[in-house]
Amino acid sequence: MHGQRIQPTDEQMSFLQIVFYIFAAILIGASIMVVTVRNPVRAALFLVLAFFNAACLWMTLEAEFLAIALVLVYVGAVMVLFLFVIMMLDIDIAQMRAGFTNYLPLGIIVASVMAGELILVMLSGEFGSAQMPRPGGHGETYSNTEALGQLIYTDYVFAFELAAIILLVAIIAAITLTLRRRPQTRYQAPEEQVRVRKQDRLRIVQLPSGKEDDA
Amino acid sequence: MDWVLNLWFELPVLVQIGVKIVAIVAPLMVAVAYYTLAERKVIAYMHVRVGPNRVGPKGLLQPIADAVKLMFKEMIVPTHADRYLFIIAPVLALAPALGAWAVMPFTDTLVLADVNASLLYVLALTSMGVYGVVVAGWASNSKYAFLGAMRSAAQIVAYEIAMGFALVGVLMAAGSLNLREIVLAQSGGLHQWFFIPLFPLFLVYLISGVAETNRSPFDVAEGESEIVAGFHVDYSGMGFAVFFLAEYANMLLISGLTVLLFLGGWHPPAPVAPFTWIPDLFWFLGKLAVIAFLFLWFRATFPRYRYDQIMRLGWKVFIPVTLVWITVIGVAKFFTPIGHWFG
């Protein structure tokens, strides 16, 4: 689908096309590996590779802000936390494979429904190089980041602010759900540690020496 | 001279870019090698020792000897390690550290790729450096390496947020995501450099930079007194050398970025005669060297942070500080008479 969008008009286009096919091939290969590879850590790393190549594809469509944000947010933060969790799991691969035949029918049904839906959407006539021509033709001074910022903070400012508030609520909800104050846990209070003075902790006493006691 | 230029422009673009990349990476590698020597010498003098002084005059050939030694050592892959990931991990650590140099403007004209969103590009690439550490720790199949990887992952994610917010402040002040334009926004002398109006962000950025590169006093990922050498405990020979290169290349990168973002890049402290005699490139490299020296000074001076203190500093101190200062910049820029100072 994407391949048709990039029409080779000159030498540069055909170079872009080569680049596109390289990234697309790696992207598809990595995506297949995500679902077929047995080791979950490797699967997560292939997902990272897939994200990275998707970002490269967006870059060829002059959407550099989205591309870099994808790398920054998904590759740089989300997937690191994912890996963090997956690495700590103690997964028994043999046990996981035991249920394979049981789940196979359900899996096939879900997969075929999803594939059918995708095919319906694709064939609906809403997609294709006619409906979505390759964006581009912008001059050298065009900045995708600036253009996006202009749109977000003018035309779509309410939608954008609303999304921000929803995310804020989600953050607060996540923190409240996981925050447990257990009375037996001892916390450090750095501000009290800083405020402490010598006379609060140290007491100098004059003890009579031992000899006089004996006498 | 003209025929050389003509010949240069006759070359295919790919060859031209390749030559430019070599022209950046080769001096960078030499700089990294001698940065390690500088570290040993500087710390030695701070400890009232002498440091390496046996190989070559005054020990100047020591990094070469180290490199040769590491190259000829056997690279051992531990039993039950994930072989491919074990070998890929150092590459994953080094590649972003070198890739980010592509957009580094050394002077107004000397830059490999003058892209629009170069600040974002740098942030995205440096955020990928953590994979080298995490993958190495996991693939080694060793407790200590794994502990180091876990610590590093949590620490880097925490400090990246503060670092990102510090960069938001800079781009608000400069009004651009392009590193070259950010430096140009600071032209006109010392008082225009962003470290004055953005002083809290400058501190946050510098300290987060030390934390991001896993340097002392934030070096819990290596923590040689607790977990041997952390994530790279099982690496030997070239694998270890590549991790080493990545760490020092990252330190130089963070130093360079600090100079570009807060210390006026290639601009002299005042645009008047005695300062302007020195070429721009030397101003940039000189400032970079000062910040790079700070990294070594920190290591010789501060004891290592405890892990919970690191987390507290990142989440509860730096992030609120940056958030407040971003608001201050916004208000100051548009509603106060000193707004021009903020860019």
DSSP one-letter string for A107-168:
HHHHHHHHHHHHHHHHHTTS-STTTSPPP----TT--HHHHHHHHHHTTTHHHHHHHHHHHH
**Best of B80, B114, B116, B212 to disrupt the A interface by mutation (most A CBs within 10 Å)?**
B116
Taking the CA of residue A132 and the nearest CA in chain B, the distance in Å comes to 25
Residue A214 lies in a domain: no
Q: Give tens-digit pLDDT for A96-137.
A: 667 777 888 888 999 999 999 988 888 887 777 777 776 666
Residue A113: per-residue pLDDT: 95
Q: Give tens-digit pLDDT for A58-80.
A: 888 777 888 888 888 888 878 88
Residue A29 maps to which CATH number? 1.20.120.1200
Contact A64 B117 (CB under 8 A): yes
Residue A16 sits in the same domain as residue A89: yes
pTM: 0.82
Residue B340: per-residue pLDDT: 65
pLDDT tier at A173, thresholds 50, 70, 90: very high
Q: Report how many domains make up chain A.
A: 2
Q: Which of B82, B124, B134 is closest, CB to CB, to A83? A: B134
Q: How many CA atoms lie within 13 Å of B128's alpha carbon, on the beta-carbon side?
A: 29
Residue A18 sits in the same domain as residue A82: yes
Contact B120 A145 (CB under 8 A): yes
Interface A:B, Cβ pairs < 8 A: 74
Q: Give tens-digit pLDDT for B151-198.
A: 887 888 888 888 888 888 888 888 888 888 888 888 877 778 888 888
Domain with A155, as residue range(s), is 138-180
Residue A30 lies in a domain: yes
Taking the CA of residue A45 and the nearest CA in chain B, the distance in Å comes to 9
Taking the CA of residue B221 and the nearest CA in chain A, the distance in Å comes to 14
Q: Which two tokens stand for residue B333?
A: 């820029």
Q: Are B129 and B97 in contact (CB under 8 A)?
A: yes
pLDDT tier at A7, thresholds 50, 70, 90: very low
Residue A77 sits in the same domain as residue A151: no
| Average of per-residue pLDDT across B18-31 | 86
The answer to whether the peptide bond before residue B320 is cis (omega within 30 degrees of 0) is no
Residue A83 sits in the same domain as residue A143: no
Instruction: Return the percentage of chain B with pLDDT > 70, whole number.
Output: 97
Residues of A in contact with B13 (CB under 8 A): none
Nearest CA in chain B to A73: B124
Q: Give tens-digit pLDDT for B41-57.
A: 999 999 898 888 888 78
Residue A194 lies in a domain: no
Residue A77 sits in the same domain as residue A143: no
Residue A52 lies in a domain: yes
Please indicate whether residue B130 or residue A13 has the higher confidence score (pLDDT). Answer: B130
Contacts of B333 (CB under 8 A, 6+ apart): B172, B173, B339, B342, B343
Q: Tell me, what amino acid is at A4?
A: Q
Contacts of B174 (CB under 8 A, 6+ apart): B181, B182, B185, B186, B194, B343
- Dihedral sign for Cα B252, B256, B262, B264, please: positive
Residue A55 lies in a domain: yes
Residue A46 lies in a domain: yes
Averaged pLDDT of chain B? 84
pLDDT tier at A214, thresholds 50, 70, 90: low
Residue A1: per-residue pLDDT: 35
Residue B1: per-residue pLDDT: 61
Q: Are A121 and A127 in contact (CB under 8 A)?
A: yes
Query: Residue for token digits 């030997």?
Result: B236
The Cα A145–Cα B16 span in angstroms is 28
Taking the CA of residue A66 and the nearest CA in chain B, the distance in Å comes to 11
Residue B163: per-residue pLDDT: 87
Residue A165: per-residue pLDDT: 95
| Average of per-residue pLDDT across B22-28 | 87
Residue B66: per-residue pLDDT: 86
Q: Are B255 and B288 in contact (CB under 8 A)?
A: yes
